[in-house]
Amino acid sequence: MERFGSGVKIIGLDLDSDAKDRAKAVLGDIPCDVVFRTIAFQDMDVVLNELNIPHVDRILLDLGLSSFQLDISGRGFSFSKDEPLLMTMKKNPTDSDLTATDIVNTWEEKSLADIIYGFGEEKYSRRIAKAIVEARKDKRIETTFDLVEIIDKAVGKSYRGLKIHPATRTFQALRIAVNSELSGLETAIQKGFNYLSTGGRMAIITFHSLEDRIVKRAFVVIKEKGNANIITKKPIIPSEEERIINPRSRSAKLRIIEKI
């Protein structure tokens, strides 16, 4: 924090309104101008235009879920707790906001299978989708444990002996679909690079292969246009020591690009 002075402005964006309070506690009395907005990072242009900021020197996108969202939010991100099946980044979703409950109770079997396979890379996607459609005929799927039970009955035996929980990939897929995470990432990369000043850098931390592939491809396309250098030829990954201290960092990959 010592490197930040009064001439530095930090702008924090997050759809989760609780993130602002947590960030304020971490930053404390940092001696620079800090602005928080409850908005998706792909809408950074709205905030920067509002603040009359044409260029920025650094952009950091930290993707995925926070430990708070997994452990405390109560929005159904974790399959280890029985919570309402929402999976929305918004703390208080409105009736018009898509939720995981909407998806599992109303989407057609093919659409369910497509997102579970496409966003979760789940090879048993069709089996799981069929089980969801059959289960909801008897009763509406409302909670995380409702869905976990369905998935476990459908594919649990196939996951025996594996380190991954049978519901992991399906939960990931639903969360990505609810929050339009992949399309939002592509938009954020393009907007973010356009707002970088010459010599500015954009760093992105991803937590699964779908995100990382999008970032890798997008950086290559930008570089091929001749106005960027990719700083990380290979992604930076956590050290063994960091993975021991923070097991949730194990899948993190950091990629950095610089505008020239």
CA distance 182 to 188: 10
Which CATH number belongs to the domain containing residue 196 in this structure?
Answer: 3.40.50.150
Which of 162, 179, 196 is the last residue before a domain boundary?
Answer: 179
Same domain, 127 and 55: no
pLDDT given at position 101: 97
Q: Is residue 10 part of a domain?
A: no
Q: Is residue 141 part of a domain?
A: yes
CA distance 134 to 132: 5
Torsions phi, psi for 143 (to 5 deg): -125, 170
pLDDT given at position 6: 61
pLDDT given at position 7: 79
pLDDT given at position 2: 54
CA distance 110 to 35: 43
Q: Is residue 33 part of a domain?
A: no
Q: Is residue 196 part of a domain?
A: yes
Counted domains in the chain: 2
Region at 35 (left for phi over 0; alpha for psi -120 to 50; beta for the rest): beta
Q: Is residue 86 part of a domain?
A: yes
Same domain, 84 and 163: yes
H helices of 57-180, where? 67-71, 100-106, 109-120, 125-138, 144-155, 168-179
Q: Is residue 151 part of a domain?
A: yes
Which of 179, 200, 226 is the last residue before a domain boundary?
Answer: 179
pLDDT given at position 3: 59
pLDDT (tens digit, 9 = 90+) per residue, 244-255? 998 888 899 999
pLDDT (tens digit, 9 = 90+) per residue, 119-131? 999 999 999 999 9
Residues of the chain under the 50 pLDDT cut: 1
Spatial CA neighbour of 171 closest among 149, 155, 148, 153: 148
Same domain, 95 and 167: yes
Same domain, 141 and 161: yes
Q: Is residue 58 part of a domain?
A: yes
Q: CB-hemisphere CA count at 13 Å for 226? A: 0
Same domain, 174 and 186: no
Q: Measuring CA to CA, how many Å separate 207 from each of 53, 62, 215?
A: 30, 9, 11
Same domain, 157 and 190: no
Which CATH number belongs to the domain containing residue 152 in this structure?
Answer: 1.10.150.170
> Is the Cβ–Cβ distance between 42 and 191 less than 8 Å?
yes
Which of 156, 179, 202 is the last residue before a domain boundary?
Answer: 179
Does this model's pTM top 0.95? Answer: no
Same domain, 92 and 133: yes
Same domain, 155 and 220: no
Same domain, 132 and 186: no
Domain that holds residue 112: 73-179
In the block, residue with structure tokens 């989760």:
16
Spatial CA neighbour of 196 closest among 219, 228, 218: 228
